Structure 1
Amino acid sequence: MTERADFSERDRRYLAVRNAMGQFPMDALIVAGHGSGFNRGNLRYLADVHMWEGDGLILIPLNGEPMHVQVTYASSSLPDYLWVEDFRREPDPQDAIIDAIREKGLTNGTIGIAGYKKIITVGALEKLTTAFPNAKFKDADMLLDKIRAVKSELEILQLKELWFMSQHAIERFVDVVSPEITQREAAAESSKIFRSAGSFTDLTVIQEGNFKGLPRDVSLKCDDWISFHLEICGETGHWSEINVVCAFKEPDKLEEKLIASEFRALQEIKKMAKPGVTLEDMEKIFLEVIRGDGWGLGQPEWHYSFHG
């Protein structure tokens, strides 16, 4: 993958964050991250680091330079040129944040926390609130989530690159699937594609018969259908999910009905897909067709469409 974020992209993101901070309003923002699939994106967005494990925090004052700290034993990929010049390592990252809050004169301010509900550790939050009893700590999860949901032209290019690579990877699975190889061997053929493209975090799930889970060292049966689900964190930190079903016999009546509903929904979406139409608009049409045919769906999420 070739489209990499540079300092101009970094500056665009920090400007958006500080504009939102001013509207909140808050004097500083603490951004929490952890080296796990759902919890490292904030730090990738603002420091261009890919965390494999451990905790990290970024302090962004409304006015002044940010500070980024990672736990001493954290393993991560840092950019060639640090996005946050003040980079530190500490056994307890919150200690460095406490020092920086004092250095920047923010001890009595309003401080938002992005990652308040699910990312920042209980110990870190307790230490911060104890150190600064006069500060007001606020939940700022949605502040950063909404900023990240609006993609720049660069991010759209990065997502397209990731999508084409993901499609290539799952097509490789389709090419090799046969009863002569195991689940793991088939999944490994797919993984060669995305690992050679710089992606080193993934989830692969195979479903065949009554089994659904991580690929096992058992031969594929190829006598009914096989579902292969692939999720990839790309080289640039974006995430893709793609699924394929390989069918080895004709669908039953219920499956035929679902396929027909989905194709009809797709045709309706294609009729309206043009510049200016939002994903939300297209999702409404999709749901009208699917629900009109009697199918039930789960509750929608605010930040993505056509999921689940």
Structure 2
Amino acid sequence: MSLSLNERDRRWNALNKAMAEHGIDALVFAANDYRGHKGSLRYVADYNLAHRSGNAVMYHGEEPFLVLPGNLSAARRPTSGWVSDYRFTPTIAQGLVDAFARRPDVDRVGVIGLEHVMKVGEYLALTRSCPDVEFVDFSREFERIRAVKSDEEIAGAEESAYILDQCLARLLEIARPGAVEREIAAEMYKIGHQLGGEDALFLTMYTEGCGPDTAATFGAPRDRVLGTHNVHTFSFEITGPAGYWTELSRMVTFARADAEVERMARAAARGIARGAGGMRPGATPASVQQQVLDAVEAEGATSSYWSGHSLGLDVLEHPMIGLDVVEDGGQSHDGTLEAGFVVTLHPMVKDENAGVSGYMADTFVIDESGSRKLSEYPTGLYRISRGEVFINEY
């Protein structure tokens, strides 16, 4: 699914404006085929990198071009309707060097993904071959540009959220005591891909340890067999046909949950609700994080994880909601939320004394009046019994 040329022009105009404001002559978009590291290429060129790594180069006021590994030259998928210049090179490093060797008018280049994505060898090749060019990290400026989603982009996120809702519907049909995590995940993957989803990221989690060692063990579904009294907590993230990520997570039980599990579910759900209530234009990520924590702590739980983040063509985009609780020194709290942001809230809560934990996630669109949840499913603890689904909403 390709977005319109109007959307292309909107993005290119925003990028050109940012280049002019920061004295940048050209941009390099570094990407690789990994969740969270290829969205910039799709943003500038509507090109969905399916293998290895790739880059786009955009000179101020000019159409971008793609610099891709030579072995992708035989691959006719995926292609882009936005750009016409594909440069397949023996190495990405040489392709980037050649791109700038013919442009003596370039003095300052912004690199998107310089710190986390661009390969060291490619950076060294550029700096050694172009000693008079200043290469600077332009990632944060790029994040500010792409954080505000257009109507077309929000429609892409809504489509992804629809797919996840259908996956949850399938889980509620088949989850039962005696089912294996892999079995459930396989059915959800099937539904997701049948509806046009890609790059699925499915995690399951459950509580292990006690006291200070209490933690939610999470990872890809394995051979764990669900028992009558187990809590099946899943987190599913996927891109829809337009490439936009959303996330959905719920806690599912079979026998009635005990009071401690109920409390963790209530803490996670109320944390999401309180945070969502504070997400409106002008609010800071720090204020949203504090509202999530206030609701969680009111249930006698603590947050063992950051509470959320923006997402779009990458699964992790800025701003981050509470990243400073584990890393980043508070840098994630710069700026304010704006209409057009798409944000997922996902508090991971625990009570060390009781040896319990909980997790849920919902994705929201922020508009002028506040936030709007994309999933049609209530946020709460789900119980499956006698072929029926009972939901404890909080």
For the superposition of Structure 1 and Structure 2, which TM-score range results when normalised by the shorter chain? 0.7 to 0.9
* Segment of structure 1 superposing worse, 122-131 or 236-245: 236-245
Residue 25 of structure 1 corresponds to which residue in structure 2? 23
Residue 73 of structure 1 corresponds to which residue in structure 2? 71
Residue 287 of structure 1 corresponds to which residue in structure 2? 293
Written as runs of structure 1 = structure 2, the 5 A alignment for 1:227-306 is: 227-262=233-268, 264=270, 280=285, 284-297=290-303, 298=305, 300-301=322-323, 302=332, 304=343, 306=345
* Segment of structure 1 superposing worse, 132-141 or 98-107: 98-107
Residue 221 of structure 2 corresponds to which residue in structure 1? 215
Residue 113 of structure 1 corresponds to which residue in structure 2? 111
Residue 103 of structure 1 corresponds to which residue in structure 2? 102
> C-alpha separation between the residues in 2 aligned to 1:275 and 1:120?
34
- The alignment partner of 2:185 has SS state of helix
- State whether residues 205 and 232 of structure 2, in contact with CA within 8 Å, keep that contact through their aligned partners in structure 1: yes
What is the one-letter code of the residue matched to 2:101? R
* Segment of structure 1 superposing worse, 116-125 or 65-74: 65-74
Instruction: Give 1:261 deviation, angstroms.
Output: 4.0
- The alignment partner of 2:176 has SS state of coil
Which one of the candidate residues 188, 193, 196 is aligned to 2:194? Answer: 196
- State whether residues 33 and 43 of structure 1, in contact with CA within 8 Å, keep that contact through their aligned partners in structure 2: yes
TM-score, length basis structure 1: 0.86
The alignment of Structure 1 onto Structure 2 pairs a total of residues equal to: 303
Q: What is the RMSD of the two structures over their aligned residues, measured on CA atoms? A: 2.9
What is the one-letter code of the residue matched to 1:84? V
> C-alpha separation between the residues in 1 aligned to 2:166 and 2:38?
26
- The alignment partner of 1:73 has SS state of helix
Residue 3 of structure 2 corresponds to which residue in structure 1? 5
- State whether residues 206 and 228 of structure 1, in contact with CA within 8 Å, keep that contact through their aligned partners in structure 2: yes
> C-alpha separation between the residues in 1 aligned to 2:60 and 2:80?
26
> C-alpha separation between the residues in 1 aligned to 2:133 and 2:272?
52
Instruction: Give 1:204 deviation, angstroms.
Output: 1.9
- State whether residues 28 and 106 of structure 1, in contact with CA within 8 Å, keep that contact through their aligned partners in structure 2: no
Residue 39 of structure 1 corresponds to which residue in structure 2? 37
Residue 363 of structure 2 corresponds to which residue in structure 1? none
* TM-aligned CA distance change 1:203 to 1:222, over 3 Å: farther
Instruction: Give 1:30 deviation, angstroms.
Output: 0.9
> C-alpha separation between the residues in 2 aligned to 1:97 and 1:22?
22
- State whether residues 46 and 80 of structure 2, in contact with CA within 8 Å, keep that contact through their aligned partners in structure 1: no
- State whether residues 27 and 111 of structure 1, in contact with CA within 8 Å, keep that contact through their aligned partners in structure 2: yes
Instruction: Give 1:292 deviation, angstroms.
Output: 4.7
Instruction: Give 1:220 deviation, angstroms.
Output: 3.3
Identical amino acids, percent of aligned pairs: 26
Instruction: Give 1:98 deviation, angstroms.
Output: 2.0
- The alignment partner of 2:67 has SS state of strand
Which one of the candidate residues 159, 168, 171 is aligned to 1:170? Answer: 168
- State whether residues 236 and 248 of structure 2, in contact with CA within 8 Å, keep that contact through their aligned partners in structure 1: yes
- The alignment partner of 2:345 has SS state of coil
Which one of the candidate residues 50, 53, 58 is aligned to 1:52? Answer: 50
What is the one-letter code of the residue matched to 1:137? F
* TM-aligned CA distance change 1:290 to 1:30, over 3 Å: same
- State whether residues 205 and 234 of structure 2, in contact with CA within 8 Å, keep that contact through their aligned partners in structure 1: yes
What is the one-letter code of the residue matched to 1:223? H
* Segment of structure 1 superposing worse, 56-65 or 112-121: 56-65
> C-alpha separation between the residues in 2 aligned to 1:254 and 1:245?
13
Q: Structure 1 unaligned runs (5+)?
A: none
Q: Structure 2 unaligned runs (5+)?
A: 209-216, 307-321, 324-331, 334-342, 348-394
* TM-aligned CA distance change 1:140 to 1:278, over 3 Å: same
What is the one-letter code of the residue matched to 1:38? G
> C-alpha separation between the residues in 2 aligned to 1:58 and 1:80?
12
* TM-aligned CA distance change 1:89 to 1:239, over 3 Å: same
Greater relative CO (CA pairs within 8 A, separation 6+):
2
Residue 129 of structure 1 corresponds to which residue in structure 2? 127
- The alignment partner of 1:287 has SS state of helix
Instruction: Give 1:259 deviation, angstroms.
Output: 3.7
- The alignment partner of 1:118 has SS state of coil
* TM-aligned CA distance change 1:99 to 1:274, over 3 Å: closer
* TM-aligned CA distance change 1:267 to 1:162, over 3 Å: closer
- State whether residues 36 and 51 of structure 1, in contact with CA within 8 Å, keep that contact through their aligned partners in structure 2: no
